[in-house]
Amino acid sequence: MPLVNGGKIVDDSFVKLAVDTPLPESGGILVPAERFIGEADALLKRAGKVGVIWPNNRDIDELVPYLGKIAAVALVFPTFRDGRAYSQARLLRERYNYRGELRATGQVLRDQFVFMLRAGFDSFEVKKQADAEAFMQTAKRYSVFYQPTGDGRITALHRRMQLRHSEGVGT
């Protein structure tokens, strides 16, 4: 499954661990939430980046104490119809100021990219190769956004205010 990060298809620097996989010596690891919470101290002492795979029905508050210490959070879309992880993503970015990698996993398809970018995702495990290749093009589909989110894109309402004021200066 291709990984898109920074707008490009890249190699994954993380290895996903199951609940009982032995810890590798080094290298980045993505650990299921349950295991992460249980073994957090040991995992964080280890050399190499640690990320967590957080299910969409588990309260994100539980992860908050660790946000400064982890390198990645992978949120899950069990199907593309299930939008709970969009709320989790915005909470992580906007309420808890999480600045590490925020990865979308599961059924990640082309037509969700814009929503995901706006919710704060910057990394995407894309289901289909063709969708991954079309990432940059798809991300530029929209130039107008009505809602303020943590991605910092200017909203239509504020752009209108700017236009009003700049018009006001000339008169």
Give contact residues for another protein (rule: CB under 8 A): 80-84, 86-88, 90, 95, 109, 111, 114-116, 118-119, 130, 141-149, 155-157, 159-161, 164
Cα atoms found within 13 Å of the Cα of residue 111, Cβ hemisphere only: 2
Closest to another protein by CB, 16 vs 90, is 90
Least Å distance, CB 129 to another protein, is 11
Burial zone of 67 (CB within 10 Å; 0-12 exposed, 13-18 middle, 19+ buried): middle
Of 35 and 90, nearer to another protein (C-beta) is: 90
Strands 14-16 vs 28-32: parallel, antiparallel or unpaired = parallel
Element (H, E) at 41: helix 33-45
For another protein, give the closer residue by CB, 45 or 81.
81
- Cβ nearer to another protein, comparing 24 with 83: 83
DSSP letter at 117 equals H
89 vs 171: CA distance, rounded Å: 44
35 vs 84, which CB is nearer to another protein?
84
- Minimum distance from residue 70 beta carbon to another protein (Å): 22
- Residue 82 C-beta: closest distance to another protein, Å: 6
Tell me how far, at minimum, the Cβ of 24 lies from another protein, in Å.
34
Tokens of 148: 């303020």
Closest CA to 120 of 80, 91, 147: 91
